[in-house]
Amino acid sequence: MKILFIGDIVGKGGREAVRALTPGLRREYGCDFCIANAENIAGGSGMNKNCLQALFDGEVDVCTSGDHVWDQKQFAAEIESLPNVLRPANYPGTQPGKGYGVYTSESGQQVAVLCLLGRTFMAVGAECPFAAAERIVPELKKITPLIVIDFHAEASSEKIALGRFLDGQVSAVLGTHTHVPTADQQVFPGGTAFQCDVGMVGARESVIGRALQPVIARFRHSMPQRFSVVEKGIRLHGCVVSVDDKGRARGIERVLRDLP
Ligand SMILES: [Fe+2]
Ligand SMILES: [Fe+2]
């Protein structure tokens, strides 16, 4: 089967691009299942139920998240009613929501999705993602060999290390968070597909989805700025992973599409 995985969706422009492009991409690549990182869909920071519904209407099956998952205050109360939305699994177990789930693809196969957060260069109170994977992956393997991990992390080295650590254990380890796609997509020897960062669905004329000048000014002067989201000129970054019935990845291909 084939799985479409879409990087961090930024703001209204990103949501609209996903709605417009995802159904066509699914048909074009023959994908049975679609996962998208939605941590930036609500005004560029966080998520809410209405914005998530727009993605599900656009044929996204499961939404993952990351360090911005709780940026919208009401979302802590909403997540429990959203079984197809995941918070990082290595956040404290006392948080609302869940970090992994098993879902059914269009072709009837069970796909497990696990969301993990990195700790290097990130100010987060998360458990070691390696330890969390070591605990959770065997549980998921009892249900299905098709396991996809969104590893939401800053450091390339941490992402590669987790991918290599899990090679042969899961179908794919796909990075998010930096909003910039990397050209290192490959299938590791054990059969795990990997890409350090899948990229974002956000404006081409931006700094990771935000207007250029305030970000440049912040770096130059170290003074507070309002970082507005750029909602036009949107580019979608993602990848398509091919997986066999035993959960082994057979290929990974980068996807880049501009909203016409
Ligand atoms: Fe993000
Ligand atoms: Fe992030």
Which CATH number belongs to the domain containing residue 117 in this structure?
A: 3.60.21.10
Q: How many A from CA of 152 to the centre of ligand 1?
A: 8
The closest ligand to the CA of 179 turns out to be 1
DSSP H/E element including 70:
none
260 pLDDT tier (thresholds 50, 70, 90): confident
Token digits of residue 161: 């290390």
pTM of the model: 0.98
Residue 260 included in any domain? no
pLDDT at position 130 over 90: yes
According to the model, what pLDDT value does residue 179 have? 98
Q: Which of 68, 152, 177, 237 is catalytic?
A: 68
123 pLDDT tier (thresholds 50, 70, 90): confident
B/e letters for 213-241, b = 16+ CB within 10 Å, e = fewer, are: ebbeebeeeeeebebbbbbeebbbbbbbb
- Annotation says 237 is catalytic: no
The closest ligand to the CA of 44 turns out to be 1
The pLDDT tens digits of the residues spanning 61-86 come to 999 999 999 999 999 999 999 999 99
According to the model, what pLDDT value does residue 124 have? 77
According to the model, what pLDDT value does residue 222 have? 97
**Alpha-helical segments (H) within the chain:** 11-29, 49-57, 75-78, 129-141, 156-165, 212-221
Q: How many A from CA of 156 to the centre of ligand 2?
A: 14
Which residue's entry shows tokens 């966080």?
46
Question: Which residues have CB less than 5 Å away from ligand 1 (the ion)?
Answer: 8, 40
Rounded to the nearest 10°, the torsion over CA 19, 22, 23, 24 is 120
Residue 18, SS3 per DSSP:
helix
Q: How many A from CA of 118 to the centre of ligand 2?
A: 10
Q: How far apart are CA 238 and CA 4, in angstroms?
A: 7
Lowest mean pLDDT, pick from 121-125, 155-159, 160-164, 173-177: 121-125
Residue 102 included in any domain? yes
* Range of the structural domain that residue 49 is part of: 2-255
The pLDDT tens digits of the residues spanning 2-32 come to 999 999 999 999 999 999 999 999 999 999 9
The pLDDT tens digits of the residues spanning 95-118 come to 999 999 999 999 999 999 999 999
Q: Nearest CA to 132 among 157, 150, 110? A: 150
Q: How many A from CA of 1 to the centre of ligand 2?
A: 28
The chain-wide mean pLDDT, for the chain, equals 97
B/e letters for 34-55, b = 16+ CB within 10 Å, e = fewer, are: bbbbbbbbbbbebbbbebbebb
The closest ligand to the CA of 8 turns out to be 1
Q: How many A from CA of 36 to the centre of ligand 1?
A: 11
Number of domains in the chain: 1
Q: How far apart are CA 99 and CA 88, in angstroms?
A: 5
